[in-house]
Structure 1
């Protein structure tokens, strides 16, 4: 088989790394890819937004399976275009991808079908939004309706913060059209967990639990990011709780999408808050998470390719997944200043040293090649990912590996996995 992966981040590097292990695969292409992916796949200079260019390449190259990494091309309808040309592609179509493309749609769908989520109201006018906020308890959550690269959710602790937030989104348009609507939502207390599941629209195959760390600094301090690290599995997700999530969230949402004439096929990402009254949905995403994918694939024993193919071709019912019994952890190294302004082009040292370490993979996210050297080229630069027999060993391994990697202004959290260690102790 020849496979095309669309995207250029750590998630896509993880997908390429895992797919390359399959005996079914003859060649991997990645558009546009990155220097890490280029070591195991042929990178093609086609942007993720260039749907016609990607379709033409897949058609000409006779690609057997295309795997879409980021959300933007999914929401833009890349799956529909490939389906028109009878090309096999993994991911939900445009009508189904709205579950991530519009948080307002997602929240209204959950409310309509009784899927547990935080109470909310939707506003297009900042005056009305601020009037509502003045009657709310704090903290509260302000969310942008559309795609915002993981940065459209704000925890507001005071009335002043909430008012500024709604003005920035609705009046100052800092998110452009994605911020034409805002959701004002109750704050949920608890522990945040991600559950991803493969589904062909009928069969639902949940993956192992993951805990992401969105805040930029230790102790969950600072602004939210696209993700600073993750680990899997999550101790708080017992077998009973996993079953509850499947029965009360995953199955109902897939059935709800089908009833809305938006059948869902691909990977469904449920971001959950485990509250004192049970799991509640924070958000749904229409694709593999980043850095959740890195830790999941590090633990997955099963060949990924049959899973992707079965999902894309409606034959998922007879598939099972085998997992490594250990724990995997990913720590994201970022540029100084991320998630706000940051500089690029700093040389990265130590990658060759880490390559020799056992049970560690360095997955490139925001890197480029300059004068034959690997340099920083994004906010999230690398995802250093390790596996161990337990969380202590995995954490020790990953942070030992990171000590070998240097670039100017490198930042990373030093507490990834701490919650799991606390629960284990």
Structure 2
């Protein structure tokens, strides 16, 4: 079969890698792809938001299955466009992708159906938001309601910071239209854990847990990013936590979306926080996380094509997800200055050292070929250096050792990815 992957980052590289393992697949295309993806798939110069051009391409090439990796096209309705043209596609329709597209919607959904989450208020008027803050307990969390590449969340320690945050989101529009509406949320304490799941509209299958590192600098300092590293499984996601979430979060979310007339088919990403009062949902995403996909998919035993098809066909109840016991760690190599300002176009050296190295992967996030055919940096997050190990500590040591194989000007990374596993 022929498969088209939509997107061009580390998440899509991990999906392409997993799809390439399926004996059912003879040809992979990726739009727009990147330099690393081009080793496994034919990259097509079509943007992820060019829905009609992508659908035309799928018809022309007789694509059997399209997999949408990115959030923006899902939220924008790419699945509806493909389905209207009779094309087989994996991902939620627009009316279901709202679970990520609007934090205000997802908070209301959790409130209505009794899914544990932080107390909150929503605002479309910055003056009313500022007035509310005068009586709110600090610290407090401000969230742009729309998608913001994982960066539209501000944790404010005092009233002055919170007021500045309202201006940043709603007045100065640092996150564009995503700040038309804002959620103000109580600040929760606890470890954060990411849990990915496959959903077919009624049945949910949970993947292995993972744990992200959002802040740009060591010790969880600096600005929020799209993610600076990840590990799987999370030792803090215990059997007790899993049991609670299966009873009070996972299936309840799937059932809630169906009850709202928005049946969800695709991947739901549950962003959890393990508070002293029990697990609560921080956020939903409507797709694989990035870099979560880079640590979860290398551990997955199943043929991912079978799982995609089961989600589309509503037969996920017949699938048993399986993962290897080995742990996995990803360390993001970024351009110094990310997520604010950084330079691009620097040659990347050492990529060939990963070839033939079992248990080691390098997933490309922001790369391209220059005029001479060399791989160069082309983004804030450049590469996800990933390694397996029998334990999380071993996987972490392997991943950091592999980061030394790669060199480029302005190379930057955190040095404490997975350090918290020693506390488990």
Partner of 1:347: 347
Q: Give the length in aligned residue pairs.
A: 423
- Per mean C-alpha deviation after superposition, the further-off stretch among 411-420 and 94-103 is 411-420
Partner of 1:286: 286
What is the CA deviation profile of residues 118-160 of structure 1, one whole-angstrom value per residue up to 9, with x for unaligned ones? 0001111222111111212221100001111111001111211
8 Å Cα contact 2:7/2:32 also seen in 1: yes
Partner of 2:407: 406
Partner of 1:229: 229
Partner of 1:296: 296
Shift of 1:92: 0.3
Where 1:143 maps in the other structure, the secondary structure is strand
Partner of 2:179: 179
Partner of 1:43: 43
Where 2:258 maps in the other structure, the secondary structure is helix
Shift of 1:356: 4.4
- In the aligned structure 1, how far is the partner of 2:399 from the partner of 2:177? 39
8 Å Cα contact 1:355/1:362 also seen in 2: no
- In the aligned structure 2, how far is the partner of 1:213 from the partner of 1:18? 23
- In the aligned structure 1, how far is the partner of 2:326 from the partner of 2:423? 17
Partner of 1:34: 34
Q: Superposition pairs for residues 194-343 of structure 1, below 5 Å?
A: 194-343=194-343
- Per mean C-alpha deviation after superposition, the further-off stretch among 237-246 and 117-126 is 237-246
Partner of 2:168: 168
- In the aligned structure 2, how far is the partner of 1:141 from the partner of 1:295? 28
Where 1:194 maps in the other structure, the secondary structure is strand
Where 2:183 maps in the other structure, the secondary structure is strand
Shift of 1:355: 2.8
2:135 matched to 1:140?
no
Q: Superposition pairs for residues 365-384 of structure 1, below 5 Å?
A: 365-370=365-370, 371-384=372-385
Shift of 1:354: 3.0
Partner of 1:388: 389
Shift of 1:358: 3.1
- In the aligned structure 1, how far is the partner of 2:219 from the partner of 2:171? 32
- In the aligned structure 1, how far is the partner of 2:356 from the partner of 2:400? 15
Shift of 1:289: 0.3
Shift of 1:304: 1.0
Shift of 1:404: 1.4
RMSD: 0.9
Partner of 2:70: 70
- Which segments of 5 or more consecutive residues in structure 1 lack a partner in the other structure? none
Partner of 2:417: 416
Shift of 1:219: 1.1
TM-score (norm 1): 0.98
Shift of 1:330: 0.5
TM-score (norm 2): 0.98
Where 2:385 maps in the other structure, the secondary structure is strand
Partner of 2:96: 96
- In the aligned structure 2, how far is the partner of 1:128 from the partner of 1:173? 17
8 Å Cα contact 2:141/2:155 also seen in 1: yes
What is the CA deviation profile of residues 247-306 of structure 1, one whole-angstrom value per residue up to 9, with x for unaligned ones? 211111111111111111111011010001111010000000000001001111111110
What is the CA deviation profile of residues 55-101 of structure 1, one whole-angstrom value per residue up to 9, with x for unaligned ones? 11111111111100001111111111111122111100000000000
- Which segments of 5 or more consecutive residues in structure 2 lack a partner in the other structure? none
